[in-house]
Amino acid sequence: MVVTHTSTIASVTDATPAKAKKNRRKISRKNPIKAFSSGPSSSSTTHRENANNNDEEMELAASEPLSADAGISFDEEAKDGDDELMIDSEPSSLLPAGAAPVFPPVAPGAEKTLLKSETRRVPIPPHRMTPLKKDWLNIFGPLTEILGLQVRMNVQRRCVEIRTSKHTKDIGSLQKGADFIKAYALGFDVNDAIALLRLDDLYLDSFEIKDVKTLHGDHLSRAIGRIAGQDGKTKFTIENTTRTRIVLADTKIHIMGSFQNIKIARDAIVSLILGSPPGKVYAGLRTFIGPEGARASHDTRSRRSIRIPKICYAQSTIFHPSVQSDIDTPSLSLQGTMCGILGLLLHDPSIDAAPEICEGLSLLQHRGQDACGIITCGPKGRFYQCKANGMVRDIFDVNSISRLIGGMGVGHVRYPTAGSFNNAEAQPFYVNSPYGIVFAHNGNLINTSNLMQFMDQTAHRHINTASDSELLLNIFAYNLQQTGKFRINEEDIFTAIGGMMSQVKGAYACCAMLAGFGIIAFRDPNGIRPVGLATRKVGEHLDYIISSESVVADAGGFTDWEDVKPGQAVIITRNGISRRQIAPPATFAPDIFEYVYFARPDSVMDGISVYRSRMAMGDALADQVKTVLKAANIKVDVVIPVPDTSRVAALNLAQRLNLPYREGFIKNRYVGRTFIMPDSIVRGTTSKEIIQMAKDVGAKKVIMASCAPPIRYPNVYGIDMPSRKELVAYARDDAAVASAIGADLVIFQTLPDLLNSVRHLNPAIPNFDCSVFTGEYVTGGVDEAYMHHIEGLRADNLRDKALSLNLDALEGKGVAGKLSNGANNDHHEMKTGASTPVNGSDDTVGLHNTFNS
């Protein structure tokens, strides 16, 4: 809801009868065609003309014709073609100045008038068009499914057009939809703007710094700096304390919240503009909110709650692979999901691939937030790299991207698996022998001990880190070297990949790049981890992309997406694509958690739409919830998702149960990696906190519904899950799980329903990896000894992570330089100047170049 201030209506209601008649006569003489001769209703023309003069356009929809005694009449000639209301301005129908208009109530059984659908265009600033395209699915869904509007993105006019339809139930839906889009256009995050659809007491307020004080140059810059604070601390504190959202857009400031909270936030910002130090502003905020509110303001998890009597929480079984200790330290949480890989080969080697790779990695950021990297191949087969721990936006700036030369490259975002987190393990990896290979990997190997022994005793290759990705790269390099050729071709690469697949066990989706040759993609025989490719036509030539998810290809304008088949290898050069089925057929079993949680909803993987699969999960869960609630004789009032991945399923569940859907929790998107991303019913820690938060704000009962069955076993294919004893569902039934997390009831999706929700979208896939539910691992080779090994690696990871945090804390005192290992030094070196050749040679020796670089 947006509050606007206009003066157009006041000019009508304040008009005296004499002036009204005079204006009516004047308009009749001036525009005889538009003047009506139907008695009192002719005065409506006056107001329509006045409205036109004031550049105001009004589109109204009435639920029934209003009677003549209400002061409104319709001209007989205009019934068929004119839907505008005509207001009689005779003295008898005029209201006293300042009085609010009163309209008769609509009869309950009244039929709707057959008026034209209303349309609204919301302009989008040029700098918000690209984000709009990326977030379109999250914007389109609520407008169509919640408000029942028709929506269209008009790229030519740079606007979003919304229109009422027969599915629009509320007459205020059009305004709500326009407010939602306007908030996004102003710069608010889509997940914050969507609150305007859910809560009726939220508004937008905008003002400029010059409205408070005229400032120029450095004085203006310092005022903006005081509002933002160091690393956004001041702005975040105001937001968190006043329960608002703030956008700083140059000299304009936009605030979203309730009337009272907007006023408090605005007063604090005004004080900062006028020169007050942040400490004084903080003190003023503490005075307002009191001790209880002050404690809440420091809790980044309690961003917004809704007071309700009973709650049914519809939540995907969101796996949050955290390693939180009993002390709530956000930085100890291994935030992220899987890894994301990306390869790009442009038809023109003179065009740098790095900017597009960087943009693609940002679309895969949900698959890994711990580290990222890009390596490109430039002229004469030279490699250029930049990689480090951190998010894509933190590592890559204009300067670092400009140094990544070449029309071919590989990118990676990493979420650390067992025992892996440090800087030296940021991917892509590189080996110079043979031929110069760059390698990015998503997954986890389960026979690393045997492979390490082989590397040491037979291959005589040194592995510098504990990462199984570097190990897999060296296995591939060893097999490629066995060809013994001075120049290699596609057949040699297929042979090397075949030798590698015969040696390794586990899950792997990989993208490799050979210097001066091309890019390669291959997938494990079970197809556990996803990878695919697409093409983009540029004139008579083709660009090629390899990615973990199709969303990257869609955003880049690539078409003809195809998934790499299990056990298949694909080699791409500028001469074309070569495919080969390397490994013999095995059980095709993609990880079902990709669809439950990991993947973006706008991706399609192995022919299955992630969005549609989550809709089906919500429908199936609704049937389960109905059965359980009926047996327990419990009624719920509202369905609230735990953001973000549960939203789609929760909305379908609410619709199927005929219950209202509300946003009760909002993600904190303003502080680094501190998100409300619960480990759901994995460890149960965050679920317990969420349930307690709901009860603290008045919920009498909280029911946790999960779109997946209980997780009772660790994942060994690329997810750093807790040990078995830490899993809240391990050796517990549903009642015990509910008691452990503080819920009144826990409802799990059944495994057959989960499988059917995904399988019905592609019946060609008979099986899915469900090892976390069943303990059955499709690759075999997972026994008790291996489980102990994984749990030991995880314990080492915790210890090393804590040590790294201590070193970071000491860095400001000058101690870290003495204590930090070489990996940390590499991080700083890479961040500032690692965009340089890594093979140290001007010429590429020993390669069969299939194109001139």
pLDDT category, 166, cuts 50, 70, 90?
Answer: confident
What pLDDT band is residue 408 in, cutting at 50, 70 and 90?
very high
Q: Which amino acid is at 305?
A: S
pLDDT on residue 404: 96
Confidence band for 112, pLDDT divided at 50, 70 and 90: low
Picking from 38-47, 358-367, 432-441, 844-853, which range would have the lowest pLDDT averaged per residue? 844-853
Q: What is the pLDDT of residues 186-213, one digit of tens each?
A: 999 888 888 888 777 888 999 999 889 8
Q: What is the pLDDT of residue 313?
A: 41
The CA distance from 823 to 820, in Å, is 8
Q: Is the dihedral of CA 248, 250, 253, 255 positive or negative?
A: negative
Residue 819 has pLDDT above 50, yes or no: no
With 0-12 CB in 10 A as exposed, 13-18 as middle and 19+ as buried, what is 559?
exposed
Q: Which residues contact 285 (CB under 8 A, 6 or more apart)?
A: 237, 238, 241, 242, 264, 268, 297
Q: What is the CATH number of domain 340-605?
A: 3.60.20.10
Retrieve residue 598's tokens: 């990991």
Q: Residues 330, 335, 338, CA angle at the centre, nearest 5°?
A: 175
Alpha-carbon gap, residue 523 to 717, rounded angstroms: 13
Partners of 253 in the beta sheet? Answer: 207, 248
With 80 as the cut, is the pLDDT of residue 323 above it?
no
- 370 pLDDT band (50/70/90 cuts)? confident
pLDDT of residue 68 exceeding 50, the answer is no
Higher local confidence (pLDDT), 571 or 717: 571
The tokens describing 85, both together, are 């209301």
Above 60 in pLDDT, residue 343?
yes
Q: How far apart are CA 52 and CA 773, in angstroms?
A: 65
What pLDDT score does 503 carry?
95
pLDDT at 286 (0 to 100):
64
| Region 488-514 average pLDDT | 96
DSSP string, 340-381: EEEEEE-S-TTS-SHHHHHHHHHHTGGG--SEEEEEEE-GGG
CA atoms of 566 and 583, how far apart (whole Å): 8
Query: Is the pTM above the cut of 0.85?
Result: no
What positions carry a catalytic annotation? Answer: 339
Per CATH, the architecture of 119-297 is what? Answer: 2-Layer Sandwich (3.30)
DSSP state of 168: -
Q: Which CATH number fits domain 310-333+607-774: 3.30.590.20, 3.30.450.40, 3.40.50.2020, 3.20.20.140?
A: 3.40.50.2020
Question: Does the pLDDT at position 285 exceed 90?
Answer: no
Q: Which of 210-214, 356-360, 458-462, 812-816 has the lowest mean pLDDT?
A: 812-816
Report the chain's C-alpha Rg in angstroms. Answer: 31
pLDDT band at 256 (very low <50, low <70, confident <90, very high): very high
**What are the extents of the domains in the chain?**
8-93, 119-297, 310-333+607-774, 340-605, 784-829
pLDDT of residue 61: 36
Task: Indicate whether 358 pLDDT > 70.
Answer: yes
What is the reported pLDDT for 611? 94
Name the phi and psi angles at 162, rounded to 5.
Answer: -125, 145
pLDDT tens readout for residues 671-689: 433 222 333 467 677 788 8
Confidence of residue 101 (pLDDT cuts 50, 70, 90): low
Backbone angles phi, psi at 257, to 5 degrees: 170, -170
| Mean pLDDT (the chain, rounded) | 76
Predicted confidence band of residue 278 (pLDDT cuts 50, 70, 90): confident
For 118-158, the pLDDT digits (tens) are 888 999 999 999 999 988 988 888 888 888 899 999 998 99
pLDDT band at 759 (very low <50, low <70, confident <90, very high): very high
* Lowest mean per-residue pLDDT among 126-140, 331-345, 512-526: 331-345
CA 469 – CA 266 distance, rounded (Å) = 51
Report the range of poorest mean pLDDT among 183-197, 379-393, 788-802: 788-802
Under the banding of pLDDT at 50, 70 and 90, the label for residue 378 is very high
Task: State mean pLDDT over 379-398.
Answer: 91
Residue 294 has pLDDT above 60, yes or no: no
Bigger pLDDT: 185 or 305? 185
119-297 and 340-605 agree in CATH topology: no
Q: Taking a C-beta distance cutoff of 8 angstroms, is the pair 692, 668 a contact?
A: no
Closest residue by Cα to residue 730 from 770, 683, 771: 683
Residue 237: what pLDDT? 84
